[in-house]
């Protein structure tokens, strides 16, 4: 049943008609639990509240189905606006973004121009930028863009997904760049030709790449809500005397907030992924797909309203 629900939400996440409807009707239907408003000022307020609790943040202006150069440039402008807000308000926040929102499906030139604009603004405001990973069809291209940008900028990182067969090779290949990587299990529905279909295999590969990247001496963001993975990381760094400033944990806004605070109290850096914007629908559906238990929270919120 859980797998059926997961597949249904992933299918719905790609529906353009529902995406447009969601933009029109705003953050209703419980999405406000996972999305920090539609405007940058609302997101800034959420970041301030998290920072006051000693939680770090990475902010993401949500965008799906970018079809024109103008839309891609506008998305980049919004990212730059967020960067400047972080600098102006002196927030403990980074920025995350997707290459499709920068024009990946249109042309390499548009993506690179937008990313150079963003990373230049980020450097001026001392903000680190993480390139989010998307589905398998865009994985290789995203990594190649990251490599090119890493040769020009030192304030950029990317994401590696444990459920893909290619992941270990990617970790080995990227090591020469001393990269700051966010390691995740993966949130898209992929073919068994390219991704592990069984959860146990994904978990085993996740542990493997966490260990590889940390022992390579690179900064590692372990992005998970899974207590088993959190404990594995704690034991690993203790065993190898890896300092706490070489890694951090990351979780999504609105999911397991109590656990986030516990990790802070234990002395670990804990970063919260905070999305905002009108284009929240696809992100929201993927969150429901990842953890069907979230559906119960959404239904409760709708009933209260």
Half-sphere exposure of 129 (CA within 13 A, CB side): 30
DSSP state of 106: T
Judging by beta carbons within 10 Å of its beta carbon (0-12, 13-18, 19+), is residue 278 exposed, middle or buried? Answer: middle
SS3 of residue 59 by DSSP: strand
Strand 156-161, strand 129-132: pairing: parallel
Which position among 6, 60, 132, 170 bears the catalytic label? 132
Judging by beta carbons within 10 Å of its beta carbon (0-12, 13-18, 19+), is residue 186 exposed, middle or buried? Answer: buried
**Residues 6 or more apart whose Cβ sits within 8 Å of residue 205:** 162, 163, 167, 168, 196
SS3 of residue 289 by DSSP: helix
Which position among 6, 182, 271, 287 bears the catalytic label? 182
Q: Please indicate whether residue 132 is annotated as part of the active site.
A: yes
Q: Which two tokens stand for residue 177?
A: 């760049």
Which H or E element spans position 177? none
d(CA 6, CA 286): 8
Comparing CA positions, the residue from 139, 182, 144 lying closest to residue 164 is 139
d(CA 182, CA 132): 9
Q: Please indicate whether residue 182 is annotated as part of the active site.
A: yes
Q: Which residues are catalytic?
A: 132, 182
């Amino acid at each position: 049943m859980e797998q059926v629900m997961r597949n249904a939400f992933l299918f719905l996440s790609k529906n353009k008609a529902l995406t447009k409807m969601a933009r029109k009707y705003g953050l209703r239907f419980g999405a406000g639990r996972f999305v920090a408003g539609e405007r940058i000022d609302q997101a800034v307020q959420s970041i301030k509240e998290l920072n006051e609790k000693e939680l770090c943040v990475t902010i993401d202006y949500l965008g799906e189905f970018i079809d024109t150069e103008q839309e891609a440039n506008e998305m980049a402008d919004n990212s730059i606006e967020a960067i400047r807000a972080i600098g102006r308000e002196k927030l403990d926040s980074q920025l995350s973004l997707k290459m499709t929102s920068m024009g990946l499906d249109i042309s390499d030139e548009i993506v690179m121009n937008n990313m150079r604009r963003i990373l230049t603004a980020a450097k001026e405001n001392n903000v680190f930028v993480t390139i989010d990973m998307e589905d398998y069809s865009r994985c290789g291209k995203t990594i190649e863009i990251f490599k090119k940008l890493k040769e020009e900028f030192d304030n950029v990182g990317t994401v590696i997904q444990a459920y893909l067969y290619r992941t270990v090779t990617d970790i080995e290949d990227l090591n020469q760049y001393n990269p700051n990587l966010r390691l995740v299990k993966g949130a898209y529905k992929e073919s068994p030709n390219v991704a592990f279909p069984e959860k146990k295999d994904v978990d085993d590969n996740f542990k493997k790449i966490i260990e590889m990247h940390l022992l390579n001496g690179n900064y590692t963001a372990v992005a998970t809500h899974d207590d088993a993975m959190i404990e594995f990381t704690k034991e690993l760094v203790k065993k190898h005397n890896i300092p706490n400033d070489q890694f951090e944990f990351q979780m999504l806004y609105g999911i397991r907030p109590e656990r986030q605070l516990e990790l802070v109290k234990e002395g670990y850096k804990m970063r919260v992924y905070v999305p905002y914007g009108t284009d929240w629908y696809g992100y929201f559906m993927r969150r429901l797909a990842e953890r069907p238990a979230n559906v119960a929270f959404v239904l409760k919120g709708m009933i209260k309203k």
